Amino acid sequence: MRARQHFARIWILTLIAALGTVALFNRLVDPYALRDGPLFEGINTIKARPDRALSDIKLAQALRISPDALILGNSRADIGLDPAFPGLRALARRPYNMAIPGAGMPTITANLEALLAADRRPRLVIVGLEFLDYLNAAPAPRRPPAPRTARDLDALHLQSLFTMAALGDSVSTLRAQHDPHAATIRSDGFNPLNDYTGIAAREGYGALFRQRALENVRRIRAHDWPADIRATNEHAALARLLELAREHGMRVELMTYPYHAHILGALRREGLIDEFVAWKLAMADTVARAAQQGANVRLWDFSLVGEQMAEAVPDAGDRRSVTRWYWEGGHFKSALGDLMLARVLAPAGAAPGIGYGRLMQPGESPADHTLAADIDTLLRDRPDIAHDIDAAFEALERPAGGR
């Protein structure tokens, strides 16, 4: 009996010691930047980007730093809108990118609401709007979902100390200090996408573009357009976000994303440009109503045909060419995001900071939009882009295993 008790004590003490060691190591490295701990060069100044719980992690970081400007959206904003842009830094001391890859408007609004509930009120909120989320949008819920709170993150704080997943992310953080192509996240929430530079160097940008073209076409072809845009969960969440903006006196700048020609061409081929324009007009009407009720909100349209969105795709096998505006057809680089932010944040009357993009006005009609004709002209003048789009559709129409 004594031998068993002695063994049990040793086992428990060993377990406690192991957990304590893991907790101390994770606390030192702080892989998710949840605490105001010390930063050590070569150990934890660069944070590895986790592949789990990113929504909770970014919300926890925002609660800690109390940002006075927020960037919200999905992966396009996460990668393309840099809070370090000087024009944004001139307006805000603590801008933060709380965009979440794969997030729709319900998640975006829930995170903002949780931030406000904790008395963290940004003065400026920049929000990316995703048309593709409406292609298969769920109907609006009969009852609004229960709001998130800071208490929802208690488990994350414990997991960041005691779990093997956190230990793995701590080890990844150590490795990221010396890997220029590591997947990382900056302290202001921005994703510099360093890992893509390594992939592009190995495979070429052409491979990234054409793979993304397949994924975009697959998503577009699976569309189920809603009978009423305003009856969707996406739109209900947007309306709630604008209500929060009015209640808390926040300035909101909404923007459509600058889709590459691969996406716009695919939408045109699938016959969805009328729906795209109808969606833009519905967004403009929603913004106009919110403004009439006292919200400080504007809507910018960057989903237009222009020089940047028609950026040429490098040839297959070309591993030297580096694109300027887009990582691939689904995600724009911060170089383009900076031009967008310059346009959106420019003082009234200042010269435009980008060759395309426009402030949408109340009362616009489909006749005010020439997107379909503009795309047709682009595809006629740019057979390289038309060929890529055709190839993506043909690849999906080809029988499995066919050539």
How many Cα atoms sit within 13 Å of 90 on the Cβ side? 8
As a whole number of angstroms, the distance between CA 65 and CA 189 comes to 11
Given a contact cutoff of 8 angstroms between Cβ atoms, the answer to whether 169 and 32 are in contact is yes
d(CA 219, CA 196): 22
Strands 184-185 and 47-48: antiparallel
Q: What is the pLDDT of residue 141?
A: 86
Residue 150: predicted pLDDT: 72
pLDDT of residue 403: 45
Residue 127: the pLDDT is 98
Q: What's residue 352's pLDDT?
A: 53
- The helix (H) or strand (E) run that includes residue 70 is strand 69-72
By CB atoms closer than 10 A (0-12, 13-18, 19+), residue 18 is exposed
Sequence-ordered alpha helix ranges (H) in 186-300: 194-203, 205-221, 233-248, 261-269, 273-292
The predicted structure's pLDDT at residue 123 = 98
CA gap 151, 197 in Å, rounded: 38
d(C-alpha 345, C-alpha 85), whole Å: 11
Reading the block at residue 95, the tokens are 């801008």
Tell me the pLDDT of the chain (403 aa) as tens digits. Answer: 677 776 677 778 777 877 778 888 889 899 999 988 888 899 999 999 998 899 999 999 999 999 999 999 999 999 999 999 999 999 999 999 999 999 999 999 999 999 999 999 999 999 999 999 999 999 988 887 777 777 778 888 888 888 889 999 999 999 999 999 999 999 999 999 999 999 999 999 999 999 999 999 999 999 999 999 999 999 999 999 999 999 999 999 999 999 999 999 999 999 999 999 999 999 999 999 999 999 999 999 999 999 999 999 999 889 999 999 999 999 999 999 999 999 999 887 665 555 568 999 988 888 889 999 999 999 999 999 999 999 999 998 866 554 4
Largest alpha-carbon pair distance within the chain? Answer: 88
DSSP at 232:
B
Dump the DSSP string for 315-352: PTT--S---SSEEETTEE-HHHHHHHHHHHHSPTTPPP
Token pair recorded at residue 277: 């324009």
- Predicted local distance difference test score (pLDDT) of residue 21: 85
